Amino acid sequence: MKLANAAKYFDNDVVYDGYTNLQLFKAQFSSYEGAQPDGSFQRRRVISMAPTLSVPLRRVIKVYNDRWVMGIPVEDGWKGKTIRKTAACKLATDLFDLRTPGQAALRTAGTPIYGYAEYVKDTVNTPTDSDYDPQYLVALGEQVADGMFLKSDDKYLRVRSAYAEASGFEHFTCDEIAYSYGGDYTEGELFGRNCEVNVTFSGTYNPITDTDAAGAATTGILMDMYKMYRYATQADFKNTPGDMTLIVAKSAVTPLVGRQATIGSVKWQIMGITAWQDAWNLHLRRV
């Protein structure tokens, strides 16, 4: 009996596609405890399969009602022949909605994507307050562009950077721009931190009446400025205490520097505008 066939005999765990629930193949799905320097343990998962099998394109599988993000399989051999493929797996902690900046601003649904979110550290908006905001490392089975947004039932994240891990996971460092209980990130939420806002821009200024004409109204994403800003020239206004970043969709409005934006009962002045993918990145300062 060939060694590959002997190993395949023990493939008793049924593997499904994590998105479509279609049965893919049978494999060996095992766990082991990884010891940490502080004495704690971390449970890891490994999937071992026949070398002729192919993993799903988005690299998310379901085994025993749990979904897992797969790394890239590596081959194991014996006497010059491949007999198994093995890949590391991470538990899918969140079902995110992957959105472009414009989709996030308009609250338009994007692409569902499973990911493993792990708390990394706290960040602080030093010029404005002493509050700490979590930063997460999110592992996905596919590539995502910088600046995209990940929204789940309790986390709203913005992708700050991306890199590929040696084990095959796509890792993304993400700032938490809001959190919620139940997925409501609008201004009316009683618990948590919100980022989805309604905004009204001022129209043309009338010097005779000293008033602004009615302007465009839309929705947007409001966040601490240090989490997203773009300085185009040395003359651009720099981040000062209380400044914020507002993301609005290009398809919804064309803002102008110097005009005002009203969010809730607070008036802000637009200090700078830069383009970011399908949205505008506005530098706001309280009036």
Residue 34: per-residue pLDDT: 60
Residue 225, SS3? helix
Residue 164: per-residue pLDDT: 87
Q: 40-59: b or e for each residue (b if 16 or more CB lie within 10 Å)?
A: eeeeebebbbbbeeebbebb
Compute φ and ψ for 69, nearest 5 degrees.
Answer: -90, 125
Number of domains, the chain: 3
Alpha helices in the chain (DSSP H): 3-8, 101-106
User: Which residue in this structure is represented by tokens 């708390």?
Assistant: 119
Question: In terms of residue numbers, what domain contains 238?
Answer: 196-286
Residue 204 lies in a domain: yes
Residue 43: per-residue pLDDT: 62
Domain boundary among 134, 149, 179: 179
Residues 280 and 215 in one domain: yes
Domain boundary among 91, 106, 130: 91
Residues 57 and 104 in one domain: no
Q: How many helices (H) and strands (E) does the chain have?
A: 2, 21
Residues 173 and 104 in one domain: yes
Residue 84 lies in a domain: yes
196 vs 264: CA distance, rounded Å: 11
Residue 240 lies in a domain: yes
Residue 185 lies in a domain: no
Residue 189 lies in a domain: no
Residue 161: per-residue pLDDT: 92
Residues 9 and 49 in one domain: yes
For strands 41-49 and 23-35, give the pairing: antiparallel
Residue 189: per-residue pLDDT: 44
95 vs 135: CA distance, rounded Å: 18
What is the CATH number for 280? Answer: 2.40.10.270
Residue 191 lies in a domain: no
Decide: residue 107, CB within 10 A, 0-12 exposed, 13-18 middle, 19+ buried.
Answer: middle
Domain boundary among 91, 113, 143: 91
Residue 184 lies in a domain: no
User: Which residue in this structure is represented by tokens 């690299």?
Assistant: 59
| Contact partners, residue 37, CB within 8 Å, separation at least 6 | none
Average pLDDT per block of 10 residues along the chain, 287 residues long: 68 92 92 63 79 91 93 84 88 95 96 95 89 93 92 93 87 92 60 81 72 82 91 88 95 92 91 94 94
43 vs 125: CA distance, rounded Å: 34
Residue 160: per-residue pLDDT: 93
Residue 33: per-residue pLDDT: 60
Residues 84 and 104 in one domain: no
Residue 82: per-residue pLDDT: 83
CA-based torsion, 167, 170, 173, 178: positive or negative? negative
Contact present, 97 and 110 (Cβ < 8 Å): yes
Residues 68 and 127 in one domain: no
Residue 31 lies in a domain: yes
Residues 83 and 103 in one domain: no
Residue 180: per-residue pLDDT: 79
Residue 45: per-residue pLDDT: 85
42 vs 34: CA distance, rounded Å: 5
pTM above 0.85, yes or no: yes
